[in-house]
Structure 1
Amino acid sequence: MPEPTPMQRLLNTLPQTGRVEWIGVRPARDQAMLILDRAMVSPGKGLAGDRFSGRETSKRQVTLIQHEHLSVIASCLHRESIGPEVFRRNLVVSGLNLLALKDKTFRIGDVVLEYTGLCHPCSKMEKALGPGTYNAMRGHGGITTRVLQGGELALGSLVQACL
């Protein structure tokens, strides 16, 4: 195996630990998010009770957004704050740059997730928060993941890269 380049070493150095701040599922299309204290997660499916659960080939079985970005988006929209349920992501995580998880697997409690891509904003954000929301969210929409190992996750669960 070849020696990692200096850039590869930098990309693989991720000692920070994140924390789950919020959990939500959407039971069906266009329905309000249900806010949870804990959730069961199944391999190849996602969070129990979420509308994307059971779509085994989906790359967005669990979606995450960074807690620190919620205030950035609110600021760009000249608002004091915006509740996480508006963004329709499953998990809000603090203390860890989610983009640093690109091409990695990571653990949240017993659950192991695989980064599958960026979670771009959609036009529904304009409807929910008004004109300019799509652009305010660009680069701050979070990430999509696939479940590799199931289990339970809860508020306060630690988020760590599997290095």
Structure 2
Amino acid sequence: MIQAIYVAKKSKQSQVGIDAVKVDAGKGIVGDRNYGKRSEVGQNITFVESEAIAAFNANFGQSISQSSTRRNIITQSVRLNQLVGQEFSIGNVRFYGVELCEPCGTLGRALSNDSLTSSQVVKAWARTGGLRANVLTTGILRVGMQFNLLKS
């Protein structure tokens, strides 16, 4: 299910948590910094598992917030890696899981500190950094909505 939703109006701006958001087919989250951008595949919307954030914090003695990952949708009890190459829905909104949202140097620098280097952060988030997806239909997403895998 959707545990939290985050958007940032501009690049490098802090993300803000909201309860509901409109998504447009092929464009992403209305009002988000990546709305309508296509420089990267799956740039429409990003997801990350709340369990991955909790594991990172526990494994490395950190206390990062959900918004620190810069992902839009925080999930609970959803195995995002299994959605790569799959069509899925949340409510009446359909998505296509494009690729894993592997960590980059930007995330590494943002989460590094005196006890954890940027490269350690990137390594820690490999294969757990989330999912990039394309929005296939327009609709509304709300905190608490459930995921459904669509038959291929």
Distance in 2 of aligned mates of 1:59 and 1:99 = 14
Give the structure with higher Rg (CA).
Answer: 1
Q: Map of 1:56-135 to 2, 5 A cutoff? A: 58-79=41-62, 81-130=63-112, 131=117, 132-135=120-123
Runs of 4+ more than 6 Å apart = none
Q: Quick one: distance in 1 between partners of 2:42 and 2:130?
A: 13
RMSD of the alignment, in Å?
1.4
Equivalents in 2 of 1:103, 1:127: separation in Å? 29
- The answer to whether 1:48 aligns with 2:27 is no
TM-score by length of 2: 0.89
- Give CA-to-partner distance per residue, 1:45-66, whole Å, 9 cap, x none: 0011111111257422010001
Residue 16 (structure 2) aligned to one of 10, 18, 34: 34
Letter of the 2:126 partner, please give it: R
Gaps of 5+ in 2: none
Unaligned runs of 5+ in 1: 1-18
- The alignment covers a number of residue pairs equal to 144
TM-score (norm 1): 0.83
Identity %, equivalent residues: 27
1:133 to partner: Cα distance: 1.2
Q: Which deviations, in whole Å up to 9, do the C-alpha atoms of 1:85-108 show, x marking residues without a partner?
A: 000000011112111112111011
